[in-house]
Amino acid sequence: MASDQVRQASKLLGPLLRRRGTSPAVGAALRRALGALDKSLTGLSPQAQDETIASGISELRACVELIGKSDRPADHDQLEGVNKALALLAPAAEAFVAAPAPDLVLASPPETKTASAPRTAAESAPRRTRPPKAPALDFHTAGTLLLGLEAKLRTLHVVLSEPLFRLADLYSADADLGKQVTALKWLGRERVPEILRVADVAKSVDDRLAAGAALVHLGEARGAEMMMGILGKAAAEKQPLPDTSATLLRTLADASLLDWLLKVFLKPAHPAVCGLLLPLLVERNLLSSEQIWELANHPKDEIAVEAARALPWTDGHHDTQMLLAWAREARTPRRANALLFAATALGSAAALAEVRARVEKGEDVDHLLVDALAIAGAPADAAALTALAARPDSDAAYVLLAAANLGSAETLGALSGLSDQVPTNVLDEVQRMITGRASRVEGDTAKADVPIRTLRGQPWSVAGLIACLAEPGETLEAQRLMALELRARTGQAPLSTLPVLLPAAARPELLANWNSYYAKANGKLKPGDWYYQGKSMGTAAREARA
């Protein structure tokens, strides 16, 4: 939005604050609106400026609603100026909210007669109609807004879940969600009653969660309580939680909400809900290394598995022998595999050997065992994963991309035999991960006597790996494995976590810190070799082959 429009709107609002007889509520809303508009002119980033202007517009909308309910003539004298300011700031408002989606079917809930508190004199006075410039509070419009929010959220979830979406796709999907949230905030808090009505009649958990998220974006604390209640009830009734739940919580992770979610986690909530919250709390450094360690042996798998997955991101020197013992005593393969993954990432050679044995047998192999080899394996493990991908019951695309992370050119020789099981775009990505080119050329396979670990066509190195974490063209899945790999390869505890929705502006500074932190390891580890805890694995493999 042009700064001139904001300045003109501020000039219109300034005199309104000096009028006598204005009610405290209307005066407070006007001051908040003017404060937000003035703040937007102080050199903020484009995104922060848009959010601040949206906050000002929301306060003006609230002002219009308050004026409509007020009996004071002085309040109604403010209406013309407020509408002129809104016309400058949001001239397209009417068009945006006028037309609900044609396929939206939301019946208004039946009216019920209930006892109510005595009405005050202000409540009993005749209500004035909303001014022509203010959009009607339409039940169907609220439903349409929530459908839009839910659609943007699902797009973001798909980008985070599918293996070939890239960092640039994440930035785009996150920005689209942000635009939807800005539109929602622009409409203001007067939408809250309609959103609550939509939530009351919504049939799916996803729809009710979207309503709760909308309330949070509008500054309603009960929105967070609604979401936790919905998730807790679904978990208690043994219903599967929506697959977008974790993504949704990450998009709402402001400081006050995170503090509240930590309290919910520690109460504790239902194990399934705690398992959902745990990765987010770890990302934001709200759980200590000691707490995560204790949770890795929690009686409930939903919590223990997520805690084990989080252990490699902690700075503690954990007892890997204990992790291995817990894995061997585990009641379920899921828990055992999570503990083996954690022990392998933290430096247990015995755990790595156990992972290799389980992958070779092909029994109860899940993504965590595959990840363990992808971040800590040697050339032979790339061959083992490629063989696993060829099995009919495996997630071939996921396993093959994990094998490619090991940078063994011998993997390329097996691709032609997997063309019937793996999509072409996955095969192309494997090529790119190893050779730096998406298309196959002669000489891509390695010579048996000179194996070398490659990273996008160059000898693997710590610095090269960190550089890939900054590339918008890298897949999110590859970046996740590379970030985890730093600890397993160097033996150094991570400097920090890498949040899933880390803003683009914050990534360069974080990775610059990582480069400094791992500079010594980068100089020590020879490019083009495989390492585990700072020691070469490739040398031993070559000697065994010879």
Cα 460 to chain centroid, rounded: 29
Residue 19 scores a pLDDT above 80? no
Q: Give the residue among 288, 340, 295, 297 at the shortest CA–CA distance from 315.
A: 288
pTM as predicted: 0.73
SS3 142: helix
Pick from 27-36, 213-222, 327-336, 442-451: least confident: 442-451
Q: pLDDT value at position 126? A: 42
Average pLDDT, integer, range 225-237 = 92
2's CB contacts (< 8 A; 6+ apart) are none
pLDDT at 440: 59
CA dihedral 492, 497, 500, 506 (to 10 degrees): -110
Long-range Cβ pairs for the range 522-528 (8 Å, 24+):
522/461, 522/462, 522/463, 525/461, 525/462, 525/489, 525/490, 527/458, 527/459, 527/460, 527/461, 527/464, 528/452, 528/453, 528/454, 528/459, 528/460, 528/461
Evaluate if residue 355 carries a pLDDT over 80: yes
Model pLDDT, residue 119: 38
Torsion angles phi and psi, residue 429, rounded to 5: -70, -40
Cα dihedral across residues 67, 73, 77, 78: positive or negative: negative
Asked if pLDDT for residue 184 goes beyond 60, the answer is yes
Higher pLDDT, 462 or 218: 462
CA distance 252 to 54: 17
Please state the domain extents for the chain: 1-92, 366-546
Q: In sequence order, which residues have a C-beta less than 8 Å from that of residue 322 and are 6 or more positions away?
A: none
Residue 536 or 140, more confident: 536
At 1 the pLDDT is 53
pLDDT higher at 80 or 127: 80
Residue with tokens 């703040």: 39
Stronger pLDDT, 145 or 242, i.e. the higher one: 242
